[in-house]
Structure 1
Amino acid sequence: MNITAQTVVKHFLMRLGEGQQFHTGIHPFFKNFFTKQELIDITSYIFNEHELSEVDLKLLTHDELLDIIDDDMSILRFYLNQWEQQLILHESHSTQEVNDTLEQLSNHNHYLRNKMPEDWDKYDRSNFRSMQLKAGKIIKVYGIYDISVTQDQATDVDTPPKRFYETQEQATEVMTTMISENDSEDGYLHVLYLYKAV
């Protein structure tokens, strides 16, 4: 999540923590907050191309763009969507993500730059995952799964755990509590890991 998205989400969490109600309209906090391009991006996210076909957003002022947006929650939804898209990209092996990661690590001549991701083998995927970890784009996390789910299936389950933990110990502690509260047999649950974008 970039610094702007962090600031926007923090603003909304602070307001929520203070018990403020969210009303239609733009909160004064956002006055002179966004660049013009950010306002254009938010507006383009809210409205489809047909709705904006007769408006040249680049000709509008900051205030006019804020008037069109007209809703704090639209701003929040835009940044949550941007965050989700960033996570999806970081978890992918797309050519763009490969290039971005190699650039970030100043690894300009790495062999994966010239190899199409669809041609990668297990070694290539493992090598790239190591680079993503080093770049801080993904982290190893732990979840509590039904015993029938194998490590190889952990990324493909239809109903993933509701939470992932930063350490195996944390996940094991919660799993133990779940088992004791439900009087379940220890063998019905286990902890598996996977890699998630940050």
Structure 2
Amino acid sequence: MFKNLKIEKRNTKVFIIKTKNKVIKIPYTPKSWKENQQEMAVIKEVQEDPHFFSYLLEYKYIFGCPITRRFSPIKESRENKRLVRKYFQKAFQDAGAWGKKPLRYLLDADFFLDFILKSVPASQYCLARFIDTNRVPQSSAHSDFHQKNILAEGDKLYFIDWSRYKRNSSRYFDLLDFYVYLKGKKYE
């Protein structure tokens, strides 16, 4: 029964228990328990998202701990590149109809500007003006979109780690996340 059992302790203060077919995420600190509860609420939002709901695993909860089917993260291959390219084509097929909003409303701008103010005070006003005047098409976004959060089964993709999902953001940020992640891997 426990032949294929694997237990990982993550730096996020959760145990990840992997069996042959299931993954169970068990928090063991109050903070990680709270994060689990927040992600449970976010997953309910994703279930109502017309774009992302079809990329969501089926989640079941026992005592607040999520249980999902087990898949492996995608590996670099010609077939997986085709699947991801196909995903982005679908993700942006209606981008022309998305309303545009200033970057300030789609980013966590206050945190960003506070960091800039402390690091390079002279740049604050230039950057504030930049994020107020430049507009980006608004959509929902996964907001932590990289290869380790993409799973595949045949021709079907699934995404995990929804804690940063935003209903009002931009999938262009997901595309940028994915690109930066892949470029960063080449230099590891």
Question: Greater strand percent: which structure?
Answer: 2
Do the two structures share a fold, i.e. TM-score over 0.5? no
Question: Greater helix percent: which structure?
Answer: 1
Given the two structures, how large is their TM-score scaled by the length of structure 1?
A: 0.23
| Higher Rg | 1
Given the two structures, how large is their TM-score scaled by the length of structure 2?
A: 0.24
